[in-house]
Structure 1
Amino acid sequence: MDKNQLGVQYMQDGKLEEAAQAFNDAISENPKDPVGYINFGNVLAAVGDEEKALKFFERALSLDEKAIAAYYSIGNLHYNSERFDQAKNMFEKAMKMGLETSDNFFMLGMSLIQLEKGRFALPYLQRSVELNSKDVEAVFQYGLCLAQLELVDEAMSQFIKCIELDQAHADAYYNLGVGYILKEDTAKAKEMINKSLEIQPNHELANTVKGLLDLNN
């Protein structure tokens, strides 16, 4: 197996030390291949060494400015450090250079959400879900974005899909409950809110809404 492939396998298994060694070997064997630097940078990012990770991603780009995975990885670094505008720029650059993955569309959408640009985020979250309809978080965030734009029916359909994928998703039940309140279906709203609280009894928003529903009963 190729050293980079071996390292990726180690990362998927949570064996970061072994992954780092495999990527280090890949770099030693082929120092002009940007892939090894990107992969090593991802290990450093995973253990929280942002400064060193960035240097490896920049090294990859110095070898090949079209190494689009490096832009995606730099975007993640910025996002995790709440530099959302810089993150957006990196994910956009990766997309424009041809990285059309569900993850990149999702992160671009989430960066725009954090920048309070939900209307611009919507098509990217939609595309993310189209490319990976089993990504629970993408489906949920797409639903939230639709809800924030007051597209209630469309949002509710995404929350239903989210629950189909993960029957223990308390936030999806809660948001579905809110949707039923807006549609004036109190019985279904109570059912969804109660389900949310069965899963997560300390869900503050669900507890607040349940109190209001009980008060109005």
Structure 2
Amino acid sequence: MKVFSRLLILLALPFCTNPRVSDADNALFDHSLDLLAAKQLDSVQSIAGQLLKKHKDVPEFYDLRGLLQQEKKQADSALEDFNTAIKMSPKRSIFYAHRAGLYMDMQMPDKAIRDYNLAIAHVDGDTMRYQLICSRGSARKMKRDFQGAYDDYMEGFHFDSTNVDVLSSLGGVLDDLGREQEAILYLERAIHISPDDMPANVNLGFRYLSLGDYEKAIRLFNHALEIDPDQPLAYNNRGYAEYKLNKLQDALKDITHSLSLYPDNSYAYKNRALVYLALKQQDKACDDLQRAAGLHYTARYGNEVDQLIAEHCR
């Protein structure tokens, strides 16, 4: 992943409105949502188990457990719970949105788009509708339908032209469409509205990488890391800028740290392979290129990894 897209949103979690659920259990459910946001997953698992043991007919509790399983990287179990929630309440927009988010994690954008369409069909309220449309745009971007993603993001922009998430996502997809200067305008607008917005800083930094202004890109990535010291995309992109400046050891350190934070990033493996090639460490480079290929680099970003394997690893 080369840029940051924050529009893969965890939409507002569902309220439990089942009249058979006691006030105490409703309060416990609400508390579990706070715990989930705080990543206290063991506590959430305990509460979800209690609630489902007492209430096997409440879809919100299956949805809760699905979100928990998703956080724990247990995709099959999460999918089963989301399917159950949808089967029990097939007109709840939020359940389709959550399953779509899981499909995004699973690199299955077509299924995500289908679910976002169903979520949009059942949603109440313009704000949530446009959030869903923008999330669908991120799914379209994942499948490299950049024009479709742009169209969705623009719907969000026309609804709220000051939304930093939308501005940042527009900046990302415009670069994919070859409209770099427009991309920079949207991203600079996002940073003008919110100077410490980390995704906008990462995305703008990537735009300057594309333009070859590596020093400016590094300054933006440095600022992003001041905001969030554990942001893997900022480390990866800063490492690539350092590679282009022939600061190979700095690049290797940054990209390796990025992979420790986000080990499924095919783009980072490709970048580290470039560093290893520059260091004349071909075996390590080929290992990383094979990892990038196994993480579906080509489907998401193009054929650069395939070309590098053909050139250096045969």
Fold equivalence (TM over 0.5): yes
Cα pair distance change 1:33/1:76, threshold 3 Å: same
Question: In the TM superposition, what whole-angstrom CA distance separates every residue of 1:95-141 from its partner, at most 9, and x where no partner exists?
Answer: 43349765544332211111111222124434279476455xx5343
Question: Matched residues in 2 for 1:29 and 1:99: separation?
Answer: 37
Does 2:75 match 1:35? no
Equivalent position of 1:8 in the other structure: 67
2: distance between equivalents of 1:58 and 1:196?
A: 41
- Matched residue, 1:172: 238
C-alpha offsets along residues 44-100 of structure 1, whole Å, 9 cap, x if unaligned? 343344444333222222223742232123212211111111111112223433497
1:195 aligns with 2:250: yes
Q: C-alpha separation between the residues in 1 aligned to 2:76 and 2:163?
A: 27
Correspondences of 1:68-217 after superposition (within 5 Å): 68-98=130-160, 103-126=165-188, 127=190, 130=194, 133-135=197-199, 139-146=201-208, 148=210, 154-161=216-223, 165=229, 169=235, 171-173=237-239, 175=241, 192-197=247-252, 202-204=273-275, 207=278
Q: Which residue of 2 aligns with 1:63?
A: 122
Secondary structure of 1:82's aligned partner: coil
- Give the number of the structure with larger relative contact order, counting CA–CA contacts within 8 Å between residues 6 or more apart: 2
Contact 1:160/1:176, CA 8 A, preserved across alignment = no
The percent identity for this pair of structures is: 17
| Matching residue's letter, 2:274 | H
- Cα distance between partner residues in 2 of 1:45 and 1:88: 18
Deviation at 1:170, TM superposition (A): 5.8
Partner of 1:215: none
Instruction: Write the deviation string for residues 161-208 of structure 1: whole angstroms up to 9, x where unpaired.
Output: 356536993641552586xxxxxxxxxx66x44422566675359939
Q: Structure 2 regions of 5+ residues with no counterpart? A: 1-28, 30-59, 256-271, 280-314
State whether residues 96 and 115 of structure 2, in contact with CA within 8 Å, keep that contact through their aligned partners in structure 1: yes
Aligned Cα root-mean-square deviation (Å): 3.9
Q: Aligned pairs, how many? A: 195
Moved over 6 A (4+): 150-153
State the Cα distance separating 1:29 from its structure 2 match. 4.3
Whichever residue aligns with residue 77 of structure 2, its letter is E
Cα distance change of structure 1 residues 174 and 59 upon mapping to structure 2, 3 Å threshold: closer
Residue of structure 1 equivalent to 2:47? none
Verify the 8 A CA contact 1:37 1:59 in the aligned structure 2.
Answer: yes
| Cα offset, 1:146, TM superposition | 3.5
TM-score (norm 2): 0.49
